[in-house]
């Protein structure tokens, strides 16, 4: 008689709970045990800030599965508030404590999904003030409880990434004065500077004080915070949201291989260095699908898919390969959406990958349809073969749709020429006949083909003295949105004024968004001017570098 397979999963939430459900659907007879350290087996951890801010009013909607739910539907034995203390890889046993008692359970395959631990920067005297991280439901409850006790309704949030920004916005919705403290030069520091600056601008527009390149050095007994620049700040409490580190204490204890990123090394099947132990989620070191280098991607989407795949491989034999991740992400910042996928310009540079960027500004739907709003879209591609490497976008709702399209292009190894020919859904309330994705690809194609070489605002700033800037906007625009330029000739007057333009320096052409300057560029290049570059994104791209959204 065949013995039922024993699957033990350590850690719930995204990866672990998904693995449990997949395992049961694949094998009705398997003995499945899920062990979770917190009091909740499966909850919407990405939704915690939105309950704090009131966007999600009912706490219970965050609790996706209870232990009883898992048993009733999947016959999974779920243990909460339970700590795994040891794994014997030879005997294949898991030792855990629950309610002061120690137990041992056998496994055939073990899946670790223990996530990441919030990082807390060292702050002298931090014990003088209530301080929290936001990982568990219990953390959310504690923050809400502390909010009710707040005397001054002023909070310091440490960290300008996803959680930090979401918590800052949530607290602002609850009428707190919020100071966001970020160690890096900008918030959302993994993005390129123009998008980091736009995120900062949106926060400040809604009344959040943002301090970059700043840390909290100490906290006095009266809750006065001293910052790294010497300034003082009084707060009722601190929320630490400075990123996460992989929870690998158990993995290290039992001798699993740890990679250079700090995560547990896994193969394409999500197996660790022990073939009977699979590792998923924030604690796993996986492969970047573009650079093929080791990375960690602490996001819910990859964790879910890895959990599903690990369960299938654990039960059915290694038949499903994980192909890696590209880090697609999105965040709501008050009224705006900020999204990205794949490589940024600076990530490509760090990986020694030659890349070119173009930026366009287009509307989220047809301009003649009411309430059209502008979005900025930047595409990163290989100048060698036009392969799409990444994208970032900022704008209204619908911005993330464009990033999803480009994410699909990246994993399909599509080029800018493929993007340009995509047949995307169109109706005036939803898009334009040529979607912003198409428009960005057109500009990239023109650069790649040599028709319209571009220069980014950052590249121009680095070598400003080497270029002469020709502003082809109207006099009213140049007055309202000034930028230093050697020549100011509106595009419609350009053909009659070519003699005014010297050929001793390369020309960088400027209009508001890059469209008129492209027309001017084609006029000049066909009139004997050789070194002519279009400032991609136009004045709006330059403004984005400064965090402006005029």
460 and 368 housed in the same domain:
no
DSSP 305: H
DSSP 500: G
- Whether the pLDDT of residue 486 is over 70: the answer is yes
- CA separation for the pair 499, 203 (Å, rounded): 47
CATH of the domain at 524: 3.40.250.10
Last residue of a domain, one of 425, 448, 471: 448
70 and 96 housed in the same domain:
yes
Query: What phi and psi, each to the nearest 5 degrees, are found at residue 45?
Result: -65, -30
In a domain, 109, yes or no: yes
DSSP for 396-452? Answer: STTHHHHHHHHHHHHHTT-BHHHHHT------TTT--SS-HHHHHHHHHHHHHTTSS
In a domain, 439, yes or no: yes
235 and 273 housed in the same domain:
no
Classify 320 as helix, strand or coil.
coil
- Which residue range(s) make up the domain with 403? 329-448
- Whether the pLDDT of residue 327 is over 90: the answer is yes
287 and 375 housed in the same domain:
no
Q: What is the mean pLDDT of residues 48-52?
A: 98
Beta strand pairing call for 294-295 and 284-287: antiparallel
Half-sphere exposure of residue 88: CA atoms within 13 angstroms, side-chain side: 9
In a domain, 99, yes or no: yes
In a domain, 321, yes or no: no
| Window from 57-66, 178-187, 344-353 with minimum mean pLDDT | 57-66
- CA separation for the pair 396, 337 (Å, rounded): 6
Stated pTM of the model? 0.94
Q: What tokens were used for 7?
A: 């699957």
pLDDT tens, position by position, 415-466: 999 999 999 999 999 999 999 999 999 999 999 999 999 999 999 999 999 9
Question: Could you tell me which of 396, 445, 453 has the C-alpha nearest to residue 419?
Answer: 445
pLDDT at 2: 63
26 and 174 housed in the same domain:
no
Question: Could you tell me which of 190, 17, 184 has the C-alpha nearest to residue 115?
Answer: 17
DSSP 47: G
23 and 61 housed in the same domain:
yes
Distance of alpha carbon 414 from the chain centroid: 22
Last residue of a domain, one of 227, 242, 257: 242
How would you label 233-269 residue by residue, b for 16+ Cβ within 10 Å and e otherwise?
A: bbbbbbbbbbbbebbbebbeeeebebbeeebbbbbeb
Any idea which residue has 């707040």 for tokens? 150
In a domain, 284, yes or no: yes
130 and 211 housed in the same domain:
yes
- CA separation for the pair 76, 83 (Å, rounded): 18
**Confidence band of 111 (pLDDT split at 50, 70, 90):** very high
In a domain, 322, yes or no: no
Last residue of a domain, one of 420, 448, 476: 448
Residues 384 and 375 sit within 8 Å (Cβ to Cβ) = no
pLDDT tens, position by position, 128-182: 999 999 999 999 999 999 999 999 999 999 999 999 999 999 999 999 999 999 9
pLDDT tens, position by position, 492-519: 999 999 999 999 999 999 999 999 999 9
pLDDT averaged over every residue in the chain: 96
In a domain, 324, yes or no: no
- Triad 473, 477, 479: Cα angle to 5°: 120
- Triad 372, 373, 379: Cα angle to 5°: 120
187 and 98 housed in the same domain:
no
In a domain, 263, yes or no: yes
pLDDT tens, position by position, 338-362: 999 999 999 999 999 999 999 999 9
Residues 7 and 32 sit within 8 Å (Cβ to Cβ) = yes
167 and 262 housed in the same domain:
no
78 and 135 housed in the same domain:
no
383 and 436 housed in the same domain:
yes
Residues 466 and 429 sit within 8 Å (Cβ to Cβ) = no
DSSP for 123-189? Answer: -BTGGGS-EE--SSHHHHHHHHHHHHH-SS-EEEEE--SHHHHHHHHHHHHTT-EEEEEESSSSSST
Domain count, the chain: 4
Please, what is the end-to-end C-alpha distance for the chain in angstroms? 73
Any idea which residue has 């007879």 for tokens? 29
DSSP for 1-46? Answer: -PPPPEEEEE--HHHHHHHHHHHHHH-TT-EEEEE-SSS-SEE-GG
179 and 109 housed in the same domain:
no
- Whether the pLDDT of residue 222 is over 50: the answer is yes
Q: How far is CA 41 from CA 18, 270, 281, 300, in A?
A: 11, 22, 15, 15
CATH of the domain at 106: 3.50.50.60
pLDDT at 1: 44
């Amino acid at each position: 008689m065949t013995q039922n397979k024993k699957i033990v999963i350590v850690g719930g939430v995204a990866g672990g709970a998904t693995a449990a459900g997949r395992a049961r659907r694949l094998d009705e007879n398997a003995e499945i045990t899920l062990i979770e350290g917190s009091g909740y087996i499966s909850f919407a951890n990405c939704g915690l800030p939105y309950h704090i801010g009131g966007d999600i009013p009912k706490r219970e909607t965050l609790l996706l599965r209870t232990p009883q739910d898992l048993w009733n539907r999947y016959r999974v034995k779920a243990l909460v508030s339970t700590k795994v203390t040891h794994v014997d890889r030879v005997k294949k046993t898991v030792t855990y404590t629950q309610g002061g008692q120690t137990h041992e359970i056998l496994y055939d395959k073990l899946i670790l999904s223990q996530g990441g631990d919030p990082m807390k920067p060292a702050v002298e005297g931090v014990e003088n003030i209530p301080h929290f991280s936001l990982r568990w439901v219990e953390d959310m409850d504690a923050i809400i409880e502390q909010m009710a006790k707040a005397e001054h309704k002023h909070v310091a949030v440490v960290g300008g990434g996803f959680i930090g920004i979401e918590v800052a916005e949530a607290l602002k919705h609850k009428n707190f004065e919020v100071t966001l403290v970020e160690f890096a030069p900008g918030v959302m520091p993994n993005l390129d500077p123009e998008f980091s600056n736009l995120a900062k601008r949106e926060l400040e527009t809604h009344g959040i004080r943002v301090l970059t390149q700043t840390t909290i050095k100490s906290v006095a007994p009266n809750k006065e915070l001293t910052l790294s620049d010497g300034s003082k700040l009084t707060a009722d409490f601190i929320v630490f949201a400075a990123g996460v580190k992989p929870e690998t204490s158990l993995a290290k204890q039992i001798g699993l291989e740890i990679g250079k990123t700090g995560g547990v090394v896994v193969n394409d099947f999500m197996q660790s260095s022990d073939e009977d132990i699979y590792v998923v989620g924030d604690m796993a070191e996986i492969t970047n699908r573009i650079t093929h280098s080791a990375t960690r991607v602490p996001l819910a989407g990859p964790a879910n898919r890895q959990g599903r795949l690990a369960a299938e491989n654990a039960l059915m034999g290694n038949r499903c390969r994980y192909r890696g991740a590209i880090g697609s992400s999105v965040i709501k910042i008050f009224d705006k959406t900020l999204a990205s996928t794949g490589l940024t310009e600076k990530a490509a540079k760090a990986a020694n990958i030659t890349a070119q960027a173009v930026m366009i500004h287009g509307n989220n739907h047809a301009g003649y349809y009411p309430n059209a709003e502008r979005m900025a879209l930047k595409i990163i591609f290989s100048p060698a073969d036009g392969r799409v490497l990444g994208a970032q976008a900022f704008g209204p709702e619908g911005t993330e749709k464009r990033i999803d399209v480009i994410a699909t292009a990246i994993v399909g190894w599509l080029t800018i020429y493929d993007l340009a020919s995509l047949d995307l859904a169109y109706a005036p309330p939803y898009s334009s006949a040529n979607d912003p994705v198409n428009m960005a690809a057109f500009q990239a194609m023109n650069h790649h083909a040599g028709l319209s070489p571009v220069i980014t605002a950052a590249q121009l700033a680095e070598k400003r003295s080497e270029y002469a800037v020709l502003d082809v906007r109207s006099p009213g625009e140049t007055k309202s949105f000034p930028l230093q330029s050697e020549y100011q000739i509106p595009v419609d007057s350009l053909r009659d004024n070519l003699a005014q333009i010297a050929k001793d320096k390369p020309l960088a052409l400027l209009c508001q968004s890059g469209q008129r300057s492209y027309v001017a560029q084609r006029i000049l290049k066909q009139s004997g001017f050789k070194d002519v570059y279009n400032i991609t994104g136009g004045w709006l791209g330059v403004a984005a570098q400064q965090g402006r959204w005029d």
